[in-house]
Amino acid sequence: MKTRTVVHIYTLSRLVHAPAGAWERKIEEIEQGREKAYAYYQPMREAVIAYCAAKGKGRDKIVSRMLAEARSRPHGRGQNPERDNLAAFETFEVKCYPKIGSFVRSLLRMPQGAGVRFGDIFLQGAPHLHVTDKEGQDRYVFLHPSNWTEDDLKAYLELLSVTVESFGEPSSSIWHMNLRSGLVSKYRSSKRVRRRCVDAARHYARIFSAGD
């Protein structure tokens, strides 16, 4: 019986522009990086959710809890989880939060089951929160504090579009919040990037179905 091939959006996005011959070596490295990156900024994401749900109230308590959590984050030489989580949160607070009309729900622990069908694979991964803008339009927020290449970012957002489309929403409902610059932008699906993602998904499925 053929098993389902499930892959996280982060992992596949890093493979979209990588040479296919190097995939098997890179996949384990990417997965390890994904787990570390997610854990590093998890305190900030939780704090943003709490801040939005409380309509900006209780800020000091939320930040204090975030910093306490950040202290326990694994990190490499030269990294400072407390400083980096606080910087990302403050950028959100000052530049991004004023654009939000209302908080709808957290998507951090949204049940995903086997994921969203995308060609021959199933994608896992979702935006971080669901809000409305000042005009009452639904927006699905991707909090982005890291420094990614433009290609990796476009591939990630395109794959995130697949999840959002499964909600019955267009890709333009994705809000990319850059927590380094404070820029908030709507994502619009690219046919070229989507083709690259489809090709990557097919190759991923071929690699992992070879033994079925």
pLDDT digits (tens, 9 = 90+) for 28-46: 788 877 888 888 999 999 9
CA 4 – CA 14 distance, rounded (Å): 21
In a domain, 131, yes or no: yes
Ramachandran assignment for 119, one of left (phi > 0), alpha (psi -120 to 50 degrees), beta (any other): left
In a domain, 1, yes or no: no
For the residues 6-26, what does the mean pLDDT come to?
85
How many Cα atoms occupy the beta-carbon half-sphere of 194 within 13 Å?
10
Instruction: Tally Cβ neighbours within 10 Å of residue 151.
Output: 15
* pLDDT at 187 > cutoff 50: yes
* pLDDT at 195 > cutoff 80: yes
In a domain, 110, yes or no: yes
From residue 25, give the alpha-carbon distance in Å to each of 123, 140, 161, 201, 203.
Answer: 20, 33, 27, 17, 14
- Among 31, 18, 38, residue whose Cα is nearest residue 144: 38
Give the domain extent around 33.
6-209
Structure tokens at 54: 């409380």
Which pLDDT value is given to residue 75? 72
Which pLDDT value is given to residue 143? 98
CA 64 – CA 50 distance, rounded (Å): 12
Which pLDDT value is given to residue 3? 59
CA 56 – CA 58 distance, rounded (Å): 7
Split at pLDDT 50, 70, 90, the class of 210 is low
Give the model confidence (pLDDT) of 153-174 as tens digits: 999 999 999 999 999 999 999 9
* Mean pLDDT across the chain: 91
In a domain, 38, yes or no: yes
pTM summary value = 0.91
Taken as a whole, the chain contains a residue count of: 212
Which pLDDT value is given to residue 114? 76
Please count the structural domains in the chain.
Answer: 1
Give the model confidence (pLDDT) of 78-125 as tens digits: 889 999 999 999 999 999 999 999 999 999 988 877 789 998 899 999
Which pLDDT value is given to residue 1? 37
